């Protein structure tokens, strides 16, 4: 068998994040002056990065036409493992990883995993440069096999807002401007979401909202649709441009506790686990975006 040094685990899919947006303060629960807002009947904006949202959460907060697009297969909601390098022919356990959910977990002290900016205290709203905190990566189900989990700890396990910027610099994303060949943004994110005309994308959404308003029997439902339509019209190019955003992260999950692994042979629990990924293609009306990345699992020498 060929000597193996590492296993690259690739993952991607749509995620949900009902985030507050500038100039609203980070803890604004409903949305007042940013381009995202919570509608009547929806939970407060929580900034929670949900890679695989629960059915209960989606039922209350995932707006149409989102659920219909998922049902039709137009949106692959949920970040899952899509492949590995090497594959099962070299590393047999890899076959069991395909299709497993990839999640960011909450921390008992730090709370929900978020794009942490705190109105330019931790990250930069202007540059879309946010730290992700906490960062606890899990692949699979802790009651199943295979399963792995590892946390990237901050120095001294201090809250991120107490630390100097250099202490968490690797946890901050960086805006990818693309190579300049496409005015909409990096081609990778545009191809991932399959949207090549941002104006037409939201023009179609506006038409859909108009049609639904005309059919609405409930005045509260009609008002919700009108509120969404007004947000799209008012924010215009700002909300459209977010479809072309791509922010990159690349760092080592150092895992002071070594992490946990079940059902995968030969994983080195002492070495850092490099990870690189991007978030992008954000739809500020449905509050979904796309994620793609690779976790590198170092392997013990056979």
Scanning 62-180, the segments in alpha helix (DSSP H) are 66-72
Nearest 5°: phi and psi at 27?
Answer: -95, 15
Scanning 117-263, the segments in alpha helix (DSSP H) are 187-193, 198-215, 219-235, 237-241
pLDDT digits over 169-208, tens only?
Answer: 888 899 898 877 788 889 999 999 999 999 999 999 999 9
List of residues 6+ apart from 269 with CB closer than 8 A: 255, 258, 259, 261
Average pLDDT over residues 14-41: 92
Lowest mean pLDDT among 6-10, 121-125, 172-176, 179-183: 121-125
- DSSP class of residue 287? T
Nearest 5°: phi and psi at 247?
Answer: -115, 130
Domain ranges of the chain: 6-179+245-298
User: pTM of the prediction?
Assistant: 0.94
Q: Retrieve residue 90's tokens.
A: 């070299």
pLDDT digits over 196-254, tens only?
Answer: 999 999 999 999 999 999 999 999 999 999 999 999 999 999 999 999 999 999 999 98
Q: Retrieve residue 145's tokens.
A: 């096999």
Number of residues that this document lists for the chain: 302
Q: Retrieve residue 105's tokens.
A: 């977990």
In which region does residue 266 sit, left (phi positive, over 0), alpha (psi from -120 to 50) or beta (all else)?
left
Place of tokens 């730090």: 110
Is the pLDDT reported for residue 1 higher than 50?
no
């Amino acid at each position: 068998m060929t000597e193996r040094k590492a296993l690259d685990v690739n993952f991607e899919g749509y995620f949900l994040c009902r985030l507050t947006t500038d100039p609203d303060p980070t803890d604004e629960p409903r949305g007042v002056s940013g381009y995202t807002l919570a509608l009547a009947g929806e939970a407060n904006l929580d900034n929670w990065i949900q890679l695989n949202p629960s059915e209960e959460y989606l039922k209350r907060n995932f707006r149409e036409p989102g659920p219909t697009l998922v049902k039709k297969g137009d949106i692959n909601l949920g970040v899952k493992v899509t492949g590995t390098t090497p594959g099962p022919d070299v590393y047999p356990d890899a076959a069991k990883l395909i299709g497993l959910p990839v999640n960011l977990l909450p921390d008992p002290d730090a709370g929900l995993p978020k794009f942490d900016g705190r109105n330019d205290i931790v990250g930069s709203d202007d540059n879309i440069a946010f730290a992700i905190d906490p960062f606890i990566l899990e692949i699979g189900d802790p009651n199943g096999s295979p399963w792995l989990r590892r946390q990237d700890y901050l120095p001294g396990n201090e809250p991120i807002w107490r630390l100097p910027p250099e202490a968490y610099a690797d946890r901050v994303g960086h805006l990818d401007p693309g190579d300049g060949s496409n005015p909409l943004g990096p081609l990778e994110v545009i191809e991932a979401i399959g949207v090549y005309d941002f104006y037409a994308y939201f023009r179609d959404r506006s038409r859909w909202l108009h049609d639904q308003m005309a059919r609405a029997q409930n005045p509260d439902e009609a008002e919700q649709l009108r509120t969404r339509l007004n947000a799209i019209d008012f924010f215009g190019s700002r909300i459209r441009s977010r479809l072309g955003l791509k922010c990159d992260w690349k760092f080592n999950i150092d895992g002071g506790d070594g992490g946990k692994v079940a059902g995968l042979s030969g994983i080195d629990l002492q070495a850092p686990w490099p990870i690189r990924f991007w978030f992008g293609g954000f739809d500020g009306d449905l509050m979904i975006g796309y994620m793609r990345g690779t976790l590198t699992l170092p392997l013990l020498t056979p």
